[in-house]
Chain A
Amino acid sequence: MLTVYAADAGSDMLAFILRRLVQSVIVMLTVALVAFALFRFVGDPIASMVGQETTLAERAELRDALGLNDPFVVQFGKFVARASTGDFGISYRLQQPVMELILSRLPATLELALVSGVLAFVFGVGFGVYTALRRGNWLSGTIMTASLIGVSLPTFLIGVLLIWVFAVELQWLPSFGRGEVVQVGNWWRTGLLTESGRASLILPAITLGLYQMTLIMRLVRAEMLEVLRTDYIKFARARGLSNRAVHFGHALKNTLVPVITITGLQLGSIIAFSIITETVFQWPGVGALFINSVRFVDVPVMAAYLMLIALVFVVINLVVDLLYYAVDPRLRVDRANARH
Chain B
Amino acid sequence: MAPVHKSGPLLSVRDLVVEFPTRRGTLRALDKVSFDIAEGEVLGMVGESGAGKSLTGAAIIGLLEPPGRIAGGEILLRGERIDNLPREKMRRIRGRRIGMVFQDPLTSLNPLYTVAEQLIETIRTHMDVSEKEARKRAVALLDRVGIPAAARRIDDYPHHFSGGMRQRVVIALALAAEPELVIADEPTTALDVSVQAQIIDVLKEICAERGASVMLITHDMGVIAETADRVAVLYAGRLAEIGPVRDVIQAAEHPYTVGLMGSIPTLTQTAERLTQIPGSMPRLDAIQQGCAFNPRCTRAFDRCRVERPDLIARGEERQVACWLYDPAKEAQDV
Contact = CB atoms under 8 A, between A and B. Distances in A.
Nearest to B110: A232
Contacts of B96: 240
Interface in B84-116: 91-96, 99-100, 102, 104, 107-114
Nearest to A256: B112
Given A234-B102, A243-B91, 20 more contacts: A230-B107, A231-B102, A231-B108, A235-B170, A238-B63, A238-B100, A239-B176, A240-B92, A240-B93, A240-B126, A240-B177, A245-B121, A249-B121, A257-B112, A327-B112, A329-B111, A329-B112, A336-B157, A336-B160, A337-B160
B159 interface: yes
Given A245-B121, A245-B125, A329-B111, A231 B100 contact: no
A329 B173 contact: no
B111 A235 contact: no
B159 A7 contact: yes
B61 interface: yes
Interface size of A as a range: 20 to 34
B156 interface: yes
Contacts of B99: 238-239
Most-contacted residue by chain B among A230, A336, A339 (CB, 10 A): A336
A239 B177 CA distance: 9
Interface of A: 7, 230-232, 234-243, 245, 249-250, 253-254, 257, 327-330, 334-337, 339
Given A245-B125, A330-B157, A240 B110 contact: no
22 contacts: A230-B107, A231-B104, A231-B107, A232-B110, A234-B63, A238-B95, A238-B99, A238-B174, A239-B99, A239-B176, A239-B177, A240-B93, A240-B94, A240-B95, A240-B122, A240-B125, A245-B125, A250-B110, A253-B112, A329-B159, A335-B156, A337-B160
Contacts of A337: 160
B159 A235 contact: no
Given A232-B110, A329-B159, A336-B156, A237 B125 contact: no
A172 B111 CA distance: 48
Contacts of A250: 110, 113
A232 B160 contact: no
A229 to B, nearest CB: 9
Contacts of A240: 91-96, 122, 125-126, 177
Contact of A241 (B95, B152, B170): B95
A243 B63 CA distance: 13
Contacts of B160: 334, 336-337
Most-contacted residue by chain B among A232, A236, A327 (CB, 10 A): A232
Interface in B228-283: none
Contacts of A329: 111-112, 114, 157, 159
Given A240-B125, A336-B160, A235 B173 contact: yes
A239 to B, nearest CB: 4
Given A231-B104, A232-B107, A328-B112, A239 B156 contact: no
Interface in B156-181: 156-157, 159-160, 170, 173-174, 176-177
B32 to A, nearest CB: 25
B156 A241 contact: no
B94 A254 contact: no
Contacts of B94: 237-240
Contact of B91 (A234, A242, A253): A242
A231 B109 CA distance: 8
